[in-house]
Each structure stands twice: as C-alpha cells, then as structure tokens.
Amino acid sequence: MFNEVVLDHFGKPRNAGDLPDATATVEVTNPVCGDVLRLAVRMEAGRIVAARFKTQGCVAAIAASSVLTELLTGQTLAEASGITPQQISEDLGGLPPASFHAAQLCVDVVAAIARKL
C-alpha cells in the first residue's frame, strides 16, 4: 500500500524526539482518526534551525512528520507557512488518498507554531 519513501521515513524517521531548547512546541490532533503530532522548533536569526516531532498515529502520519521536519529546517516562518499538504505528499512519493490526512495534519501543526510565535 505504501511506497518505499513512506516506509523509509516510517522505519527511520528523521528528527524524531524532543527538542529541549525549543523556541516553541505545539500539539495538534486529527479528531477523525486520532493522530497526534507534537512539533518543537528552535528559531535563530528568524529561521528554523532545528525541528523535532513526536507522532502517535498511522504509518503515513509518522512519515509525513519526518518529511515535515526536513522541509522546515532552514526556513523562515513565512516560508514554512507556505508548505502545502500536496508538497508533503509529493516529497513522500505520493500518499494514497486514504492517508492524505497525514499531510494535512502537518500543515495544521505549522499553522499552530506560526500562531504561537
């Protein structure tokens, strides 16, 4: 059902875990499926220099969270706010329609970080 890119990010997630010196940490939940994504970022000189996540959810949610942290690193908050669910899905080699909610969850967590900062 999932391609090799999704399975790689699921099996070896990038940037998983806590970020003790985070500038901001937020958590969002998808009330329909129950996925929970906590994102922590550290900002320096107006850019995201580190991003870490903890996700409780499906394979796609964990893989999408992993890709999200890679996309965020080095970006300004304005650039990060431009990340779309389609971009996350494309970076994963395409999510199946039934799993696209995982990419939307990532966009929701970026919006929550933007509101907090």
Structure confidence at residue 32 (pLDDT): 83
pLDDT digits (tens, 9 = 90+) for 57-108: 999 999 999 999 999 999 999 999 999 999 999 999 999 999 999 999 999 9
CA torsion 115→18→68→15, rounded to 10°?
160
Structural domain boundaries enclosing 69: 4-116
pLDDT in tens, 19-60: 999 999 999 999 888 999 999 999 999 999 999 999 999 999
Residues 6+ apart with CB under 8 A from 14: 66, 67, 69, 70
- CATH, residue 68: 3.90.1010.10
Tally of domains within the chain: 1
Confirm whether pTM is higher than 0.85: yes
What mean pLDDT comes out for the span 2-16?
A: 97
**Residue 90 contacts residue 78 (beta carbons within 8 Å):** no
